Structure 1
Amino acid sequence: MKREIKARWTILTFGVMITAMAIAVIAYGSSPHVPLVVGTITAAIVTLAHGFKWREVEEMMYKGIKLALPAIVIIMLVGFTIGAWVGGGVVATMIYYGLKLISPEWFLITIVILCAIVSLAIGSSWSTMATVGVAGMGIGLSMGIPAAMIAGAVISGAYFGDKMSPLSDTTNLAAGLTGTNLFDHIKHMLFTTVPGLIISLVVFGILGRKFAHIDMNSESITTTLAVLQDTFYVSPWLLLVPIGVIVMVAKKVPAIPALIIGIIFGFLLQVTVQGGSMQFALTTLQEGFVLESGNQLVDKLFNQGGLDGMMNTVSMTVIAMTFGGILEYSGMLKSLIQQILRFAKSTGSLVTSTIAACIFTNGTCSEQYISIVVPSRMFVKAYRDRGLHSKNLSRALEDGGTLTSVFFPWNTCGVFIFATLGVSAFEYAPYAILNFVVPIISIIYAYVGFAIVKMTPEEIAEAKRKEEEESVLEPTVV
Structure 2
Amino acid sequence: MKKHQEIHTPFFLAIIPLLVMITAMAVTIIKFGGSPHIPLLIGTATAAIIAWRLGYKWDDIEEGAYKGIRLALPAILIIILVGMIIGSWIGGGIVATMIFYGLKLITPSLFLVTICMICAIVTLAIGSSWSTMGTIGVAGMGIGMSMGIPAAMVAGAVISGSYFGDKMSPLSDTTNLAAGITGTDLFEHIKHMVYTTIPGLLIALIAYFFLGRKFGGSAVDSGEINAILSTLDSNFTISPWLLLVPLAVVVMVAKKVPAMPALAIGVFLGWVCHVIVQGGNIGDAVNTLHDGFAISTGNAMVDDLFNRGGIDSMMFTVSLTIVAMVFGGIMEQVGMLQSIVNQILKVARSAGSLIAATVVSAFFTNVTASEQYISILLPGRMYAKAYRDKKLHSKNLSRALEDGGTITSPLVPWNTCGVFILATLAVHPFAYAPYAILNYTVPIISIIMAFLGIKIEYLSDEEIKALEHKEALQLKGDQAAASGTATI
**In structure 2, C-alpha distance between the alignment counterparts of 1:266 and 1:346, rounded to whole Å:** 46
Select 1:37's aligned residue among 38, 41, 44: 41
- Larger displacement relative to structure 2 (287-296 or 201-210): 201-210
1:366 aligns with 2:356: no
Distance 1:365 1:10, change over 3 A: farther
Does the aligned pair in 2 maintain the 1:98–1:139 contact within 8 Å?
Answer: no
Does the aligned pair in 2 maintain the 1:47–1:330 contact within 8 Å?
Answer: yes
Select 2:331's aligned residue among 327, 344, 352: 327
| Residue identity in the other structure for 2:252 | M
Does the aligned pair in 2 maintain the 1:93–1:238 contact within 8 Å?
Answer: yes
**In structure 1, C-alpha distance between the alignment counterparts of 2:292 and 2:315, rounded to whole Å:** 12
Distance 1:359 1:20, change over 3 A: same
1:375 matched residue in structure 2: 386
1:284 matched residue in structure 2: 288
Per-residue Cα deviation, 1:302-334 (whole angstroms, up to 9, x for no partner)? 111111111111111110111111122221111
| Residue identity in the other structure for 1:401 | L
1:6 aligns with 2:32: no
Select 1:70's aligned residue among 74, 90, 95: 74
Deviation at 1:161, TM superposition (A): 9.7
2:270 matched residue in structure 1: 266
Does the aligned pair in 1 maintain the 2:376–2:401 contact within 8 Å?
Answer: no
Select 1:54's aligned residue among 38, 53, 58: 58
Per-residue Cα deviation, 1:67-125 (whole angstroms, up to 9, x for no partner)? 2211111111111111111111111111111112344432245358869xxxxxxxxxx
TM-score using structure 2 length: 0.68
1:96 aligns with 2:96: no
Distance 1:114 1:306, change over 3 A: closer
Does the aligned pair in 2 maintain the 1:108–1:205 contact within 8 Å?
Answer: no
Q: What SS does structure 1 have at the residue aligned with 2:452?
A: coil
**In structure 2, C-alpha distance between the alignment counterparts of 1:132 and 1:340, rounded to whole Å:** 33
**In structure 2, C-alpha distance between the alignment counterparts of 1:283 and 1:213, rounded to whole Å:** 48
Unaligned runs of 5+ in 2: 143-153, 171-175, 366-372, 455-488
Identity of aligned residues (%): 42
Equivalent residue runs for 1:101-250 within 5 Å: 101-103=105-107, 104-110=111-117, 128=124, 130=126, 140-144=137-141, 150-156=158-164, 159=167, 196-205=200-209, 218-250=222-254
Deviation at 1:45, TM superposition (A): 1.3
Does the aligned pair in 2 maintain the 1:396–1:442 contact within 8 Å?
Answer: no
Distance 1:250 1:99, change over 3 A: same
Deviation at 1:403, TM superposition (A): 1.5
**In structure 1, C-alpha distance between the alignment counterparts of 2:225 and 2:375, rounded to whole Å:** 43
CA RMSD of aligned residues (A): 4.7
1:384 matched residue in structure 2: none
Aligned length: 408
**In structure 2, C-alpha distance between the alignment counterparts of 1:58 and 1:223, rounded to whole Å:** 55
Equivalent residue runs for 1:431-450 within 5 Å: 433-434=437-438, 436-441=440-445
Deviation at 1:404, TM superposition (A): 1.8
**In structure 2, C-alpha distance between the alignment counterparts of 1:324 and 1:142, rounded to whole Å:** 40
Per-residue Cα deviation, 1:21-70 (whole angstroms, up to 9, x for no partner)? 01100111111111111111111112222211111112111111122211
- Larger displacement relative to structure 2 (400-409 or 57-66): 400-409
Deviation at 1:342, TM superposition (A): 3.6
Deviation at 1:341, TM superposition (A): 3.3
Does the aligned pair in 1 maintain the 2:96–2:236 contact within 8 Å?
Answer: yes
Per-residue Cα deviation, 1:351-408 (whole angstroms, up to 9, x for no partner)? 7556545656885771675355233257x4xxxxxxxxx88x9998567434123156
Q: What SS does structure 2 have at the residue aligned with 1:29?
A: coil
| Residue identity in the other structure for 2:73 | L
Equivalent residue runs for 1:386-425 within 5 Å: 397=397, 400-406=400-406, 407=408
**In structure 1, C-alpha distance between the alignment counterparts of 2:331 and 2:19, rounded to whole Å:** 14
2:25 matched residue in structure 1: 21
**In structure 2, C-alpha distance between the alignment counterparts of 1:298 and 1:112, rounded to whole Å:** 14
| Residue identity in the other structure for 1:15 | L
Q: What SS does structure 1 have at the residue aligned with 2:8?
A: coil
Distance 1:298 1:91, change over 3 A: same
Unaligned runs of 5+ in 1: 116-125, 163-167, 177-181, 381-389, 454-478
Distance 1:212 1:247, change over 3 A: farther
**In structure 2, C-alpha distance between the alignment counterparts of 1:346 and 1:239, rounded to whole Å:** 44
Distance 1:148 1:82, change over 3 A: farther
**In structure 1, C-alpha distance between the alignment counterparts of 2:257 and 2:114, rounded to whole Å:** 30
**In structure 2, C-alpha distance between the alignment counterparts of 1:229 and 1:194, rounded to whole Å:** 32
TM-score using structure 1 length: 0.69
**In structure 1, C-alpha distance between the alignment counterparts of 2:338 and 2:224, rounded to whole Å:** 55
Does the aligned pair in 2 maintain the 1:399–1:439 contact within 8 Å?
Answer: no
